[in-house]
């Protein structure tokens, strides 16, 4: 708490110097301590809030390695050759010299740093400022059509000419979309919350937290009275931290726009944030997620006598549908994927459906639906597989080009006519959905059909649920069941765990929603979504390919994959040829160019982690080599997947949505038969709903 955000280096500038952000990134890059990373981010934001609050937004984007909200299509799309040519032009080095540097360092940012270290300019260039760099990158992302590549290179060269020291390294890493630092979304949001608590925008400043060292308890004499005062002040501060962090995280997952959140914080502070940045039609929220379970019986062990519903889990694409009636009567429709990609132009038939639905229900002004898009046979109405759906064109599709018809299977209503429904129990949301919007087939045969998911409620009896499950297993067009709590749990006695809630928990994986896949009977109850991160040279028939391939889970805290197992089963020869060849430097390197934790694995080559594969296996085992989920087991060893087998590429997922350590550990515990609360504390069961861990708060220096 002794940090005072008064930095002449920053305050004397008209805008936040880009070098200040580069220094912050270098500091973060030099440590693996989560506390040090969080403190650095917090103090960086505090300094910016004091001196240049208008720089907070571009700074957030730089530190998050993004340019815009996740639902925006704005991307840099810069190839390695453009960056290499720009470095070559600015440094004067030959292509051979650059290749030599690349071989020795393995990182484009390090190459640029070393290439420019000996470059001298006759006329000094003005320092780079955060807003200028951000606007330049926006221009790069906006370059389209003929001549776009040359224009991108020209902008990059202009930035590199002015860049100095660490600016060069992190500018090029930003251009390469690989900062190689452990700052992830959770850390950024936590740091932003703490910075606003400690250093509020001037108009909303708390006089108890003005950032002045002489007013803080740490500056007072350490007698008995002051120690009590410090403890009281510290408890108050921690309470404010918790409240602010929970608020900003909740706001972000329901309205994921740094633009809107930063603007609201600067104008109205934390108190007005919920009113200024509400759930909004047209801006996707992160979807609620289901926790995997291993057996049919586990449903009742988890939920006991609490009422629930079992819904069919269709083999389709998760979709969030937003619709808003405009003042002229037209309906604005937007369709978002599970990772918030705007895929509206892919589904003109869904646009037509929603327009017809609004025409039928004239009282409807706005809504947000959660649903599954499933390919259907236009003649028979039978359901098709996800593979059929993936055959549709991805964008700019006209209605007359639609060859694969779809049905929208709605299962949740999140917003209706200005009312946010997230905190209502699922029973209420489902009833509202089904009563207000019955099954509907538009007159236009090319429009999508509107349907409800097939379900069975626990009030109908366990035998009916069992029959429903058995029928699901026999169907070829479903993956299994989604089990959802209908009502909030009511507890009369004090319990160790929080009562279960039937709210819509955006971006959370809780046991209020569970998924039971029908292939649980043949080994692992749920597939894993893993990231290929390395490989070994193949032998024998596979000598021209990589085999086995090293797979990793996603570490959300550090923002990179962690190796979990080798896989050499399930691949066809055609797949090997298509995915990886021995001569593809853009995908693999003998140097560790991309941040990953390998544990005891030592692959011959490392892959760029940019794709997710669905993998199945026999079971989860303790491994002497893997460090995956090591902190969640009683052993010093990590977890691994036995007999992994490749199933398919998950093109609908980004690497940050791959399976994580808690997911892996939960399957392992379930596999061991530890379905009920642990009594001996041998294993630490992570509280899925926890907002954060404050056990290490004594190390705060903000």
As annotated, the active-site residues are: 313
Q: Alpha-carbon distance 287 to 453, whole Å?
A: 17
**CA 335 to chain CA mean position, Å:** 18
The vertex-217 CA angle with 216 and 219, nearest 5°, equals 75
CA-CA distance, 5 to 11, in Å (whole number)?
10
Instruction: Specify the residue for token string 């190796």.
Output: 563
What is the rounded CA–CA span in Å between residue 309 and residue 296? 13
Which of 244, 172, 231, 167 shows the shortest CA–CA distance to 204?
244
First to last CA, the chain: 4
Contact between residue 384 and residue 434 where contact means Cβ atoms under 8 Å apart: no
Strand ranges in 417-508 using DSSP code E only, listed in sequence order: 419-420, 449-452, 455-457, 478-485
- Give the residue carrying structure tokens 């299509």: 73
Sheet-wide strand order for 478-485: 289-292, 509-517, 478-485, 308-314, 455-457
DSSP SS3 for 383: strand
Note the residue count of the chain. Answer: 702
Tell me the β-bridge partners of 106: none
Q: Which residue has the tokens 């969640």?
A: 632
Residues 6+ apart with CB under 8 A from 320: 284, 285, 287, 335, 336, 337, 338, 368, 369, 370, 371
Q: Is 312 helix (H, G, I), strand (E, B) or coil?
A: strand
Closest CA to 67 of 273, 327, 257, 196: 257
Residue that has been written with the tokens 């649980």 in this structure: 520
Closest by CA position to 437, among listed 446, 448, 450, 447: 450
Identify the DSSP state of 453: P
Residue 41 sits at the vertex; the CA angle it makes with 51 and 244, to the nearest 5 degrees, is: 90
Its sign, for the CA torsion 353, 357, 360, 362, is: negative
Give the position of tokens 């459906």.
353
């Amino acid at each position: 708490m002794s940090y005072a955000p008064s930095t002449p280096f920053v305050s004397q500038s008209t805008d936040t110097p880009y070098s200040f952000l580069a220094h912050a990134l270098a500091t973060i890059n030099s440590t693996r301590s989560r506390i040090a990373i969080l403190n650095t981010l917090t103090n960086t934001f505090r300094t910016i809030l004091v001196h240049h609050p208008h720089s907070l937004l571009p700074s957030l984007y730089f530190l998050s390695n993004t340019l815009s909200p996740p639902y925006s299509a704005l991307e840099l799309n810069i190839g390695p050759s453009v960056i290499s040519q720009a470095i070559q032009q600015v440094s004067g080095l030959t292509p051979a010299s650059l290749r030599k540097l690349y071989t020795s360092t393995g990182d484009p940012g390090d190459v640029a740093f070393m290439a420019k270290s000996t470059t001298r300019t006759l006329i000094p260039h003005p320092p780079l400022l955060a807003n200028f760099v951000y606007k330049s990158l926006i221009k790069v992302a906006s370059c389209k059509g003929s001549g776009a590549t040359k224009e991108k290179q020209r902008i990059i060269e202009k930035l590199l000419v002015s860049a100095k020291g660490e600016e060069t390294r992190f500018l090029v890493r930003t251009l390469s979309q690989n900062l190689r630092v452990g700052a992830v979304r959770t850390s950024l949001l936590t740091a932003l919350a703490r910075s606003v608590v400690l250093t509020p925008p001037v108009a909303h400043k708390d006089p108890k937290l003005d950032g002045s060292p002489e007013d803080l308890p740490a500056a007072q004499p350490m007698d008995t009275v002051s120690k009590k005062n410090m403890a009281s002040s510290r408890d108050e501060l921690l309470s404010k931290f918790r409240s602010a962090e929970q608020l900003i995280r909740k706001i972000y997952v329901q309205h994921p726009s740094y633009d809107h959140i930063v603007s609201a914080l600067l104008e109205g502070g934390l108190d007005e944030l919920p009113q200024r940045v509400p759930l909004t039609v047209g801006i996707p929220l992160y979807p609620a997620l289901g926790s995997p379970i291993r057996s049919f019986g586990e449903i009742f062990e988890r939920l006991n006598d609490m009422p629930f519903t079992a819904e069919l889990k269709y083999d389709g694409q998760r979709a969030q549908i937003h619709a808003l009636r405009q003042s002229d009567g037209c309906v604005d429709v937007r369709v978002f994927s599970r990772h918030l990609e705007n895929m509206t132009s892919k589904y003109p038939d869904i646009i037509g459906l929603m327009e017809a639905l609004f025409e039928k229900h004239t009282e409807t002004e706005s809504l947000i639906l959660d649903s599954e898009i499933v390919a259907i046979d236009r003649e028979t109405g039978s359901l098709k597989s996800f593979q059929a759906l993936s055959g549709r064109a991805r964008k700019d599709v006209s209605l007359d080009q639609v060859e694969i018809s779809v049905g929208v299977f709605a299962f949740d209503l999140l917003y209706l006519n200005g009312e946010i429904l997230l905190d209502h129990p699922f029973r209420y949301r489902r009833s509202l959905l089904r009563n207000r919007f019955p099954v509907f087939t538009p007159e236009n045969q090319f429009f999508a059909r509107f349907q409800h998911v097939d379900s069975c409620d626990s009030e109908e009896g366990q035998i009916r649920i069992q029959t429903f499950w058995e029928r699901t297993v026999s169907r070829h067009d479903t993956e299994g069941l989604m089990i959802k709590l209908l009502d909030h749990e009511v507890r009369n006695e004090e319990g160790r765990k929080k009562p279960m809630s039937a709210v819509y928990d955006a971006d959370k994986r809780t046991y209020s929603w569970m998924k039971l896949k029908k292939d649980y009977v043949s080994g692992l109850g749920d597939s894993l979504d893993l990231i290929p991160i390395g490989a070994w040279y193949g032998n024998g028939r596979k000598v021209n390919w990589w085999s086995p391939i090293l797979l990793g889970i996603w570490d959300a805290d550090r923002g990179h994959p962690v190796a979990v197992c080798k896989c050499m089963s399930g691949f066809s020869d055609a797949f090997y040829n298509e995915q990886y060849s021995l001569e593809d430097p853009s995908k693999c390197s003998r140097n560790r160019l991309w941040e990953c934790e390998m544990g005891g694995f030592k692959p011959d080559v490392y892959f760029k982690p940019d794709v997710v594969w669905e993998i199945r296996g026999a079971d989860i085992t303790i491994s002497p080599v893997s460090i995956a989920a090591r902190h969640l087991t009683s052993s010093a060893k990590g977890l691994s997947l036995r007999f992994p087998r490749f199933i398919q590429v998950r093109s609908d997922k980004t690497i940050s949505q791959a399976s994580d350590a808690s997911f892996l550990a939960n399957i392992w515990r379930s596999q061991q038969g530890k379905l009920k609360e642990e009594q001996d504390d041998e294993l630490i069961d992570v509280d899925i709903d926890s907002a954060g861990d404050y056990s290490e708060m004594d190390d705060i220096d903000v």
